[in-house]
Structure 1
């Protein structure tokens, strides 16, 4: 009697294991099919990454080469007289405070270029 119960338990476990194996097999087949469909996209992405790495490398070498060259000397044109009211001239750049000052500065620059 106990032997029969053990045999039935082993058979049930084996059937469950075979069923689980079949489910896993189907999932793995679906996964490999999906990966095959994605392969061209992955290859395209990989080649795009390679091209971008090459571009960044080229830009870095060009930037270093440009920075290594002595700067060109240009005759500086006299700067037009502008009002610096409302401008913060720290750090070599002008920070305009407010939209009105920005628009006024734009039109002042345009007038000085036309003259």
Structure 2
């Protein structure tokens, strides 16, 4: 979480997604449950508030009906995948595979 929020390493990536950069998470698709690496409600609240702040200050032409669903279903997986890629030195595809498989040697609190 520190890598994503304090260093703001994922911020530009999220801004790029909001600007139209391709995302495997948007448009939102019905999915089975996505692995979540956030272990407690306080951390979940902090990261979601951070992402909501990016969403609120960034103009986007993406259309979504539910802000919470958009954050949880698109922007949060993008931010976590970015953190995994940075923290573990993986390619984007490898990091996304790790995210989807739920195999992470460090917890999200380390991101």
Structure with larger RCO (C-alpha < 8 A, sep 6+): 2
TM > 0.5 between the two? no
Higher helix share: 1
Larger Rg over CA atoms:
1
Give the TM bin, normalised by the shorter chain. under 0.3
